[in-house]
Structure 1
C-alpha cells in the first residue's frame, strides 16, 4: 500500500535534524533546534494539501484533512512528538539501512566495536528478512517519535491521493518536549477540536495501550552537620550516611530492574551530596492508584521515622505528581480502543494490548478532555545507540491510521 522508499526517505529527512529537548530549560520548545523540524513539517503539510495548517508560539503544529463523506462523523486526531530524548545524543544522526536482515549481528560501528546483536536484543529475530534502519553506534536514532510523525504524514498523503476512501474530518498535531514530560502542557485541546485521538508513539508492532503509570517525582533532602573530622566525635552528622539509611529502607526489589508488567517501583535516579547536605531524586511509578498513593505515603513515613531516630528534623521529602493512569478516562469510551484493535486486525497486525511502563502525551491529554490511547510506532531500544526501526512496521502503522479513519466513517454511516 505505502511505498517503502518514500517512507525511508521521509523518516531519514526527519531523524537527521537534531531535536533533543532539554529538561533544564524553561522555554517552550525547550530547545531552539526543535523549530527546524516543526517548520519543515508545516511546509510539507501545506505542500501536500492539508488544510488549516498552523504553528503556534510554542511550536505546536496542527493541520486538518477534510472529510470525504457527507454524513456526520466524529472528528478524530493523531498525535506525535518531534523532540528526541536528552538521555543520549541526537546530534549528527547517521542512519544505516540494513536490507533483508539475516538474523545475525549488525555491526553499527566497526571502529568502536558497537554491535546490535540478537543474542542480547532478541526482538531482532522477529524481523528476519525485513528492512531495518539503525544508528551508526554514536547517537540515538530518533524513531521515538519521528517514526510516528512519518506514519501520520504518510497516511495523510495516502488519504489525499485516494479520495475514494471514506473518512470524516481528521486533525493531526505534532508537539515539542514530550521526552521531558511537557508534550501536552501547552496543547490547545479546544483548538484541536477532536472527539478522541491516538498517539503514534508505542514500540513493537501491534502495541495498543490505554493504561500507563501514575507518576510522581520525589526529592529527599538530608541535612547534616559538618565538623572537622579530627574533632568530630559526638558533633558531626554525616548527611550521606542518613541518606544511605533512607535508600536501604525502601523495598530493594521494588526498583525498575526487578519489576515488569503492572508492578510499580521507586527509582533513585540522582544523588548529589556531601557531609552538610545530600539530595536524592526519585521517581515513583505504579499503575494502581491505591498502590501509588501508598508509595508516596511510605516515603513520607520513612522520613518521619528517620527524624525520630536522629531526634532532629534532618530529612524531608517533597513529592510532586507528574501524570496519572489514563485508564480511568479511556474505560468510559472503550469503543475507541476497540476501533484501533479492529483496524489492526484488518491490516493483518496482531494487537498486543498491554499497559505502558511509562508515560505518554496521551495520558495528559486524556485528563485534559481528549481521550487518547497509544498505538505502536514500530521502533525498538529507544533513547540509545541500539535503537532501530523496521520499515515494514512503519508501513503497517501507516495502514492502521488509514484503516481507523475509514472504519470510523463506516461505523457512523447510519
Structure 2
C-alpha cells in the first residue's frame, strides 16, 4: 500500500472522538494521543519546531528557496464526530470494487449498497476503505491528516523540490465547533492556508453556511393522569407543536445547494420539561437572520397561548460564511483549481453545506478555503473513502506548493 494509505489506516484506529459535554481543551484527553504521535512524526521529519500547544499540533518546514514565496498553511482536525462511535475502528480494505453490495457486518446484516449510495458506482475497479459497520471510519478528518503528512514527508525527503515556508497545524474539537477557539494564528506563521477537510474527489470550497445552534426549553405541568383534565400541561406535546410549526420542507433531508434549513438533532424530555436541540444554517446572511427570528417569534407566539414562561429559547452563533474573507484573496482558490487540473482532477467548486476550521480562521485573519480529502458519508457507519482519491489529494497539495514556488514576489 502507498504511504498515505498506511498512515490513514494507523490514524483511524486511534479513538479521538470529541465531546460537547466537556469544556476542556481538547474536550477529550484521547485526542492528545494522536497529537503526541503527530508531533513525533513531524520531529522525525526534521521539523525542529514541532510542538503541542493547548492541544493543537504545529510545525514548520522552512523555505528552501531564496525567492519571496508566500508562507502556505495546511490544516486538518484530529477529532472525530460525537454523532457515532469512533472507538475500536476496524477499517476494511476492498480491493477493486465490483459494483455490488458490500457486506460491512454479516452478524448485524449491515450492507453498504449502491442502491442507497449510488456514488459507489463511480468507483468500480478502484480500491475502497470502509468501516465494519459498528463505528464511523474517521476519514473526517484523518484522511486530511494522512494526506498532509505524506506531502510533508515527500518535501522533507526531496530537498531538491523548491518550496516556500510550509506551516502545518492539526486541531482538536473541530466537530463540536471549537477547532479554532485557541488557534495561534500569529504563531502559525502562514499568509494563507487550506483545510484538508472536504469530501469527494475534486471538492474546492470557499463558501460555507452561516451557523447557529438553538436550545428550546419547554415547561409543562405534571399531575396524575387520572385527574389531569384542565390541569396537566404536557411539555412533550408542546414540543411537538413547536416542531410542527417550523417549515417542513426546510430540513436537511429536503434541501440542497444554497438552500438553508432548520435541523432538530436531539430531544430530551418528559411531561414536566422537554428540551429541543436545533442547528440553524443558511448561506445568505439576511436569510440566516430571518431564520433565527422565526424561531424566536414562534416561541413567543406559543407563549401567548400557554403562558409567558412556557417556551424559552437560547440561540448561539457558531460560525460565518467565509466567502467575504476569501474573495479578496481569490488567488488561493485559483491556485488550487489550477493544481487540480494539472494532476488530472476535475475541480468541483461548490458551497460547503457545513463548516470547517477554515471558516472561522478566515475571520481571524487567515484566509482558508477547503480542499477535498476523498471521503463519503461522514459521521456514520456507511462512511467510505476510495484510496486513489487520497493519493490524488497528496498530488494536489504538492502541485499547489510547486505553483507558488514558481512565483517570485520580490
TM-score range, shorter chain: over 0.9
Q: Partner of 2:253: helix, strand, or coil?
A: helix
Pairwise CA RMSD: 1.4
**1:65-90, Cα deviation, whole Å (9 max, x unpaired):** 11121011111100001111121111
Partner of 1:13: 10
Kept in 2: contact 1:189–1:368 (CA 8 A): yes
1:37 aligned onto 2:34: yes
Aligned to 1:329: 325
Shift of 1:228: 3.2
Label 1:229 to 1:139 Cα distance change in 2 as closer, same or farther (>3 A): closer
Q: Secondary structure at the match of 1:202?
A: coil
CA contact (8 A) 2:5 2:390 kept: no
Following TM superposition, by how much is the alpha carbon of 1:227 offset from its aligned partner in structure 2, in angstroms?
Answer: 3.0
2:406 corresponds in structure 1 to: 410
The answer to whether residue 168 in structure 2 is matched with residue 172 in structure 1 is yes
SS at match of 2:197: strand
Query: Which SS does the other structure have where 2:49 is aligned?
Result: strand
In the alignment, structure 2 segments of 5+ residues that lack a partner are none
Q: How does 1:333-372 map to 2 (within 5 A)?
A: 333-372=329-368
Q: Is the 8 A contact 2:133 2:382 kept in 1?
A: yes
Matched, 1:27 2:24: yes
How big is the shift at 1:312? Answer: 3.5
Question: SS where residue 63 of structure 2 aligns?
Answer: coil
Q: Counterpart of 1:36 in 2: which secondary structure?
A: helix
Match of 1:317 in 2: 313
- Alpha-carbon distance in structure 2 between the residues aligned to 1:304 and 1:18: 43
| Alpha-carbon contact 1:197-1:371 (below 8 Å) kept | yes
Q: Is the 1:103–1:124 Cα contact (8 Å) retained in structure 2?
A: yes
Give the counterpart of 1:102 among 98, 102, 112: 98
The residue number in structure 2 matching 1:119 is 115
TM-score, normalised relative to structure 2: 0.97
Q: Which residue of 391, 399, 406 maps to 2:387?
A: 391
Residue equivalent to 2:155: 159
How many aligned residue pairs are there?
A: 410
Aligned match for 1:207, one of 203, 208, 218: 203
Is the Cα contact below 8 Å between 1:99 and 1:130 reproduced in 2? yes
Gap runs ≥5 in structure 1: none
Distance 1:86 1:313, change over 3 A: closer
Structure 1 distance, partners of 2:148, 2:287, is 36
Closer, same or farther: CA 105–240 of 1 in aligned 2, 3 Å: closer
Preserved contact between residue 76 and residue 171 of structure 1 (Cα < 8 Å): yes
Write out aligned runs for 1:238-253 (5 A).
238-253=234-249
Greater alpha carbon shift after TM alignment, 147-156 vs 88-97: 88-97
For residues 307 and 191 of structure 1, do their structure 2 counterparts lie closer, same or farther at Cα, with a shift above 3 Å needed?
same
CA contact (8 A) 2:12 2:138 kept: yes
Q: CA deviation at 1:342?
A: 0.8
Aligned partner of residue 339 in structure 1, secondary structure: helix
2:127 maps to 1:131: yes
Structure 1 CA distance for aligned equivalents of residues 100 and 236 of structure 2: 47
| SS of residue in 2 equivalent to 1:303 | helix
Equivalent position of 1:302 in the other structure: 298
